[in-house]
C-alpha cells in the first residue's frame, strides 16, 4: 500500500501527458493506411500528368475509397473517401455496396469517379477535387472519358460521358474543366440502361430491351457527340442467350474495341457484334477438357489508338486457357489469331499497351508471362520468387519493350484481399487491404506468465516438502532453455547498451501480437514489435460472403472468433492453425464474456431479443439489450427469466448501452481537495449508461446493472439524433458527445462533449448513507441504493467524435485519458482527464486551494491541443473502434484502433515516470563505471604506498 501510495503521488505530480513527439513517430506506434480491396474494373496504371514519365497505380476500392499508390514502395500518394459524409452510417454502407466507376487518360491530368448519384473529377497528381455533380434519384450505370480531342479545351482536359439509371435512362456529357452538363439524352422507351462507349464520330448508348419470358435483346443507339441527338438504332437478337445484365460479358469502351460480347447459356458458343454493324459472329468455344466452364472474361485495351485485338479467357474448376481475336473494323469481322494453352493453375490476365501495340500478361500461381496481341510468341516469362497460395482474382500490368527484352510490372489482387506488386517475377510489396474491413480485434494473451502462475498455484496447494521438490523439478526443467539464453546473452547486452530504446520493454508487455478478424472471412496476426507486420493470415470462414464477427476471446496459446450465426473458430495464436470449429446454431446479436477465474473465460451468446443462450455454473450477471428496446438483467446461472428490465419512456428508443471496462481498477477512493479534505467517489463496479433518443431529444440513464435501479438521468434537447452519440463510463465518471444546441444561449449549434462525475456526497469527508456499511447488496437491501451526487459540465468541441474509450493501466494510478476518434480530421486524440474536470470554476479564476488540486478556470469552448493527438500528423481514416490495454508498466497503456486504417501506439498519460528517458545514456554510465574502476586500480597502490611511507616517517 505504501508503494502504491507513493506511485500515485508521483503520477499526480507529473504534468499532463503529451501524446506523441515527432521523434517517436514510427518508434512507439505504427500505421497501416488502407484503401480496401481494389475493384476489378477500377484499377489501372496511369501517368498522373501529360509531362510525367512515371505511372501511379490508381484504384477505387470496394470501400468506395479512391486513391493513388506509388508502385515503387506501395505507399499511398493520396486518397479520398468518395462516400458522402452527410449520409448516415447505414446510407454510407449502402452507397459503398453500389457499383463504382473510375476512369482516366494518360493525356489528361485528372481521373473521374462515380458512385451512386455522384460524378466527380479529381486531380491525378494530388487528389484535389476539380468538380463534382450529383443527380438525386438516379444511379450511375456507366462512365467513360472521351479520348478524342476537343477544340474548346486544351489537350490535357477531357470531357466525360456518364449513363444514369433512374425513372428513365439518361446519357450526359460533362465539361472536363467545369463539370457542367453540355447535353443530355433521355431514353423514354423503358429499356434497361446498360453501358455507353465512344468514338470520334459517334457515342453509342446500349440498353437491354426486355422480351417477356425470353430474356433481353441488346439495343444500340448512336448519339451525336456534340449535341447528343439520337441517330441510327438497331437491335441484336440476343433474347435466348441474355437473361440479364450479368449475361453480357463485355462492351468496349471506345473505337479500339467497339464490341459487344456474350455467350449462350451452356457456354458452347461466343457471340460477338462489332458495334456499328448488325451482324453477330458466332464463335464455337473449344473446350477440350470437357469440364463445365465456370466463367468467361474478355480483356481488351481501353486506349483509343490501340489495335482492335481482344482476349477471351475461359476458366473451369481446375484449369484455364485463352484465345486471342483480331477485329477488322472496316469489314466488321472477327477472326481468331492464336490460342494460349491450357494450364492447371488458376490464372488471370491483364492488358497493357505501348503506342498502338497491345500486350497480354498472364499471371498464374507460379509464373508470369507476356505475349503480344499480334503474335503467339512469348516475349517474356518469369517464375515467381514467392508463389502465392491464394487464388489471384484480377491484375493490372505495365509492359516495357526495349528491343528483344521485356520488363514487366504487375499488381495482383488475390482472393485473400492482399495486393501484391510483382516485378519481373520478384516480389515487391504487399498491401493487406482486407484489414480495411476489420470487425473485431484483441491482444494475444502471453502463455509464459500464465504457465508460471499455474505452477506457483500448484506449489501453493502442496505440502512444504512437496512444494520444494516441485520447484526443484521446475528449475531443472528450465535448464533446457539455458543454451539459448547463453547464446543470446551477448547480443542482449550489446543491444541493451547501444540501442535507441533505453530499456528493452518486451518483457513488460509492450510488444504484444494483435489478432484481427475481417469481414471477408480472414484472421490476421499483427506483430506490434515489428511495426504491425503480418505474422500470419488464414482463411477462417467457410464458404463465401460477408463474415459477421462479433468478438474475439483469447487464452494463452489460442484465440476463438465468435460469429453472428452462433459458430466459432479457434486458432493457434502462434501459427494460425485452426484448432477447432463449432457449427452455426442460433443467430446471435452479441457475446458476453464471464471471467470466473484468470484462465478460463466463459462465453455466453445473446439472441436478438436479448435472451442469453446458455447458463453457467457459478457467479455472474448479464445485462442485455433486446430488439424490443428494453434493457434486461440476468443471473448467469439461471437465465430463464430476467431479474429486472428497464424500458425508456414511450416514444424513445435505446441506441446505445455502455458499461465500465472489464479492467478498470481504482487507485484512490476519494479526491483530495486543496484543504486536505476528501470528496469520496461513488464507486459502483456495476454501472451501465443507457442512451435513448426521440426526435431531437437524447436522454441518458445511469443504471445499477445488478438491481436495474435508475441512479441518474439527464436529457439534452435540440440534438441531431441522426449523428453518432458516443459514450463511455469509467471509475466514477462518464462522458458522451453529440451535435446539438450550444452550451450558452444565443450561440450557434455545435458539437458538445459532456462529462459528469459521481460522488457519494456533495460534502467533503462525508461517505453518505452507506458510509458506515462494510458491505451492501444491490439486490437484497432493504432500502434502494442511494443516488450519487452528480457534478457535470459541457464543452463545445471543434469537430465531431465518433467513438470513445478510456486508457487502461495496470493499477489505475496513472491519470486516465479520454481516447476519441475524430472522423472529420481523421485523427485519434487523448484528452487528459484533468482538462475535463467538471469542478473547474465557472466565471472566475481558480483559488489557491483549487489551483493546488489542478483546477483552472472553465471555458465553454474546448480547443483540441496539438499535444493531445496520438496519431500525430498522420491521416488515420475510418477508425470505428479503439481498444486500450494495460502493460506491466503503470505509466504505459497500449492503444489499438481499427475499422478503416490500422493504427497502434502506446501512450503515457502521466508521462513515463517508471521508464528511463531517452536522454539517459547507458553507454556513458558504463564508461563512467569502467573509468572509476580503472582509477581505483591505478590509485589504490599509490595510496597504500603513501600510507606506508607516512608510517615510516612517523616512526623515524
10-residue averages of pLDDT along the chain (956 residues)? 44 50 76 94 91 90 94 94 65 64 88 93 94 92 84 78 93 94 93 90 92 91 92 91 91 82 91 91 87 92 87 91 92 92 90 90 91 90 85 92 88 94 93 95 75 68 84 86 83 66 66 93 92 93 85 90 93 93 90 72 86 79 86 82 89 91 89 91 92 93 91 92 93 94 66 95 84 60 78 94 94 92 94 94 92 92 92 91 91 93 92 76 83 92 89 79
Q: From 233, 9, 16, select the one nearest 856 (Cα to Cα).
A: 16
228 falls within a domain: no
**Which of 134, 166, 188 is the C-terminal boundary of a domain?**
188
Q: Based on the domain organization, do 824 and 950 belong to the same domain?
A: no
561 falls within a domain: no
Distances (CA, A) of 859 to 260, 746, 822, 835, 862: 67, 16, 21, 10, 7
Q: Based on the domain organization, do 807 and 936 belong to the same domain?
A: no
In the prediction, which pLDDT does 18 show? 54
CATH of residue 166: 2.40.128.630
378 vs 394: CA distance, rounded Å: 21
In the prediction, which pLDDT does 602 show? 84
In the prediction, which pLDDT does 97 show? 61
Contact 703, 647 (CB under 8 A): no
Residue 427 burial (10 A CB sphere; 0-12, 13-18, 19+): middle
In the prediction, which pLDDT does 11 show? 44
Q: Based on the domain organization, do 72 and 46 belong to the same domain?
A: yes
Number of domains in the chain: 4
R_g of the chain computed on alpha carbons: 34
Which grid coordinates belong to 334?
472477327
pTM, to two decimals: 0.88
250 falls within a domain: no
274 falls within a domain: no
Q: Based on the domain organization, do 826 and 690 belong to the same domain?
A: yes
In the prediction, which pLDDT does 409 show? 94
**Which of 467, 498, 529 is the C-terminal boundary of a domain?**
498
**Which of 188, 210, 232 is the C-terminal boundary of a domain?**
188
Domain that holds residue 762: 1-15+684-770+785-920
Distances (CA, A) of 915 to 120, 353, 910: 51, 58, 12
SS3 437: helix
507 falls within a domain: no
Q: Based on the domain organization, do 157 and 77 belong to the same domain?
A: yes
Q: Based on the domain organization, do 905 and 949 belong to the same domain?
A: no
In the prediction, which pLDDT does 711 show? 93
DSSP state of 612: B
Number of other residues whose CB lies within 10 A of the CB of residue 547: 25
Residue 717 burial (10 A CB sphere; 0-12, 13-18, 19+): exposed
Q: Based on the domain organization, do 847 and 947 belong to the same domain?
A: no
In the prediction, which pLDDT does 8 show? 43
Residue 455 burial (10 A CB sphere; 0-12, 13-18, 19+): middle
Q: Based on the domain organization, do 793 and 850 belong to the same domain?
A: yes
44 falls within a domain: yes
In the prediction, which pLDDT does 484 show? 84
Q: Based on the domain organization, do 812 and 936 belong to the same domain?
A: no
Q: Based on the domain organization, do 709 and 742 belong to the same domain?
A: yes
CA atoms within 13 A on the CB side of 362: 31
Contact 603, 593 (CB under 8 A): yes
Q: Based on the domain organization, do 747 and 856 belong to the same domain?
A: yes
In the prediction, which pLDDT does 542 show? 85
Residue written as cell 487464452? 555
Q: Based on the domain organization, do 4 and 126 belong to the same domain?
A: no
890 falls within a domain: yes
Q: In what order do the strands lie in the sheet with 192-198?
A: 192-198, 203-211, 215-223, 230-236
368 falls within a domain: no
In the prediction, which pLDDT does 857 show? 94
Amino acid at each position: 500500500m505504501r508503494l502504491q501510495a507513493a506511485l500515485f503521488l508521483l503520477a499526480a505530480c507529473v504534468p499532463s501527458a503529451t501524446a506523441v513527439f515527432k521523434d517517436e513517430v514510427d518508434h512507439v506506434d505504427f500505421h497501416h493506411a488502407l484503401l480496401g480491396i481494389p475493384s476489378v474494373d477500377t484499377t489501372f496504371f496511369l501517368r498522373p500528368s501529360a509531362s510525367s514519365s512515371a505511372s501511379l497505380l490508381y484504384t477505387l476500392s470496394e470501400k468506395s475509397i479512391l486513391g493513388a499508390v506509388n508502385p515503387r514502395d506501395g505507399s499511398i500518394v493520396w486518397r479520398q473517401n468518395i462516400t458522402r459524409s452527410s449520409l448516415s452510417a447505414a446510407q454510407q454502407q449502402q452507397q459503398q455496396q453500389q457499383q463504382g466507376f473510375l476512369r482516366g487518360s494518360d493525356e489528361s491530368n485528372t481521373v473521374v469517379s462515380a458512385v451512386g448519384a455522384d460524378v466527380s473529377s479529381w486531380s491525378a497528381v494530388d487528389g484535389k477535387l476539380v468538380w463534382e455533380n450529383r443527380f438525386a434519384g438516379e444511379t450511375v450505370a456507366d462512365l467513360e472519358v472521351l479520348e478524342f480531342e476537343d477544340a474548346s479545351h486544351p489537350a490535357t482536359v477531357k470531357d466525360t460521358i456518364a449513363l444514369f439509371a433512374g425513372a428513365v435512362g439518361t446519357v450526359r456529357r460533362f465539361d472536363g474543366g467545369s463539370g457542367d452538363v453540355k447535353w443530355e439524352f433521355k431514353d423514354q422507351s423503358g429499356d434497361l440502361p446498360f453501358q455507353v462507349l465512344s468514338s470520334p464520330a459517334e457515342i453509342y448508348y446500349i440498353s437491354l430491351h426486355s422480351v417477356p419470358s425470353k430474356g433481353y435483346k441488346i439495343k444500340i443507339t448512336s448519339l451525336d457527340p456534340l449535341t447528343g441527338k439520337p441517330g441510327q438504332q438497331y437491335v441484336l437478337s440476343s433474347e435466348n442467350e441474355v437473361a440479364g445484365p450479368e449475361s453480357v460479358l463485355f462492351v468496349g469502351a471506345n473505337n479500339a474495341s467497339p464490341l459487344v460480347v456474350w455467350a449462350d447459356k451452356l457456354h458452347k458458343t461466343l457471340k460477338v457484334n462489332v458495334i456499328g454493324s448488325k451482324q453477330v459472329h458466332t464463335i464455337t468455344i473449344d473446350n477440350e477438357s470437357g469440364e463445365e466452364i465456370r466463367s468467361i472474361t474478355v480483356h481488351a485495351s481501353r486506349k483509343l489508338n490501340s489495335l482492335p485485338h481482344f482476349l477471351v479467357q475461359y476458366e473451369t474448376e481446375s484449369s484455364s486457357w485463352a484465345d486471342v481475336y483480331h477485329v477488322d473494323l472496316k469489314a466488321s469481322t472477327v477472326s481468331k489469331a492464336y490460342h494460349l494453352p491450357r494450364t492447371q493453375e488458376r490464372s488471370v490476365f491483364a492488358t497493357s499497351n505501348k503506342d498502338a501495340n497491345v500486350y497480354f500478361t498472364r499471371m498464374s500461381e507460379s509464373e508470369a508471362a507476356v505475349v503480344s496481341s499480334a503474335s503467339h510468341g512469348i516475349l517474356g516469362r518469369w517464375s515467381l520468387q514467392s508463389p502465392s497460395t491464394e487464388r489471384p482474382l484480377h491484375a493490372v500490368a505495365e509492359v516495357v519493350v526495349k528491343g528483344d527484352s521485356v520488363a514487366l510490372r504487375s499488381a495482383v489482387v488475390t482472393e485473400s484481399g492482399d495486393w501484391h506488386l510483382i516485378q519481373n517475377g520478384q516480389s515487391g510489396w504487399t498491401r493487406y487491404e482486407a484489414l480495411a474491413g476489420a470487425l473485431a480485434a484483441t491482444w494475444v494473451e502471453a502463455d509464459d506468465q500464465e504457465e508460471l502462475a499455474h505452477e506457483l498455484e500448484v506449489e501453493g496447494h502442496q505440502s512444504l516438502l512437496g512444494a520444494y521438490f516441485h520447484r526443484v523439478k521446475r528449475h531443472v526443467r528450465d535448464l533446457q532453455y539455458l543454451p539459448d539464453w547463453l547464446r543470446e546473452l551477448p547480443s542482449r547486452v550489446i543491444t541493451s547498451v547501444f540501442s535507441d530504446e533505453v530499456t528493452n520493454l518486451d518483457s513488460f508487455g509492450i510488444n504484444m501480437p494483435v489478432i484481427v478478424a475481417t469481414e471477408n472471412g480472414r484472421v490476421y496476426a499483427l506483430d506490434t514489435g515489428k511495426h504491425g507486420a503480418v505474422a500470419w493470415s488464414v482463411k477462417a470462414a467457410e464458404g463465401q460472403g460477408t463474415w459477421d464477427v462479433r468478438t474475439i476471446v483469447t487464452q494463452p496459446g489460442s484465440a476463438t472468433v465468435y460469429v453472428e450465426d452462433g459458430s466459432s473458430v479457434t486458432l493457434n495464436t502462434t501459427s494460425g492453425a485452426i484448432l477447432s470449429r463449432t457449427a452455426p446454431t442460433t443467430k446471435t446479436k452479441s457475446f458476453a464474456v464471464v471471467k470466473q477465474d484468470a484462465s478460463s473465460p466463459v462465453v455466453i451468446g445473446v439472441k436478438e431479443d436479448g435472451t442469453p443462450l446458455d447458463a453457467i455454473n457459478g457467479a455472474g450477471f448479464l445485462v442485455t439489450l433486446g430488439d424490443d428496446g428494453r434493457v434486461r438483467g440476468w443471473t448467469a446461472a439461471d437465465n430463464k427469466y430476467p431479474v429486472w428490465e428497464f424500458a425508456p419512456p414511450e416514444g424513445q428508443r435505446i441506441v446505445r448501452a455502455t458499461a465500465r471496462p472489464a479492467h478498470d481498477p481504482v487507485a484512490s477512493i476519494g479526491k483530495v481537495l486543496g484543504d486536505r479534505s476528501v470528496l469520496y467517489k461513488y464507486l459502483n463496479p456495476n454501472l451501465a449508461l443507457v442512451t435513448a433518443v426521440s426526435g431531437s431529444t437524447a436522454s441518458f440513464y445511469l443504471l445499477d446493472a445488478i438491481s436495474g435501479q435508475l441512479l441518474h438521468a439527464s436529457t439534452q434537447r435540440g440534438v441531431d439524433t441522426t449523428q453518432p452519440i458516443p459514450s463511455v463510463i469509467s471509475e466514477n465518471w462518464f462522458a458522451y458527445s453529440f451535435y446539438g444546441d450550444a452550451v450558452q444561449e444565443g450561440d450557434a449549434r455545435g458539437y458538445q462533449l459532456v462529462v459528469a462525475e459521481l460522488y457519494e456526497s456533495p460534502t467533503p469527508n462525508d461517505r453518505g448513507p452507506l458510509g458506515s456499511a462494510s458491505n451492501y447488496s444491490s439486490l437484497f437491501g432493504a432500502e434502494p441504493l442511494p443516488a450519487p451526487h452528480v457534478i457535470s459540465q459541457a464543452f463545445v468541441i471543434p469537430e465531431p467524435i465518433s467513438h470513445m474509450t478510456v486508457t487502461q493501466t495496470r493499477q489505475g494510478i496513472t491519470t486516465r485519458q479520454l481516447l476519441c476518434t475524430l472522423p472529420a480530421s481523421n485523427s485519434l486524440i487523448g484528452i487528459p482527464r484533468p482538462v475535463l474536470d467538471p469542478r473547474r470554476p465557472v466565471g472566475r479564476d481558480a483559488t489557491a486551494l483549487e489551483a493546488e488540486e489542478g483546477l483552472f478556470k472553465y471555458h465553454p469552448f474546448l480547443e483540441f491541443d496539438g499535444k493531445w493527438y496520438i496519431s500525430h500528423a498522420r491521416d488515420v481514416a475510418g477508425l470505428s473502434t479503439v481498444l486500450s490495454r494495460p502493460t506491466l508498466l503503470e505509466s504505459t497503456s497500449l492503444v489499438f484502433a481499427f475499422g478503416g486504417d490500422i493504427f497502434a501506439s502506446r501512450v503515457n498519460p502521466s508521462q513515463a515516470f517508471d521508464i528511463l528517458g531517452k536522454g539517459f545514456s547507458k553507454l556513458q554510465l558504463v564508461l563512467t563505471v569502467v573509468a572509476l574502476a580503472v582509477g581505483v586500480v591505478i590509485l589504490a597502490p599509490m595510496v597504500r604506498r603513501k600510507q606506508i611511507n607516512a608510517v615510516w616517517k612517523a616512526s623515524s
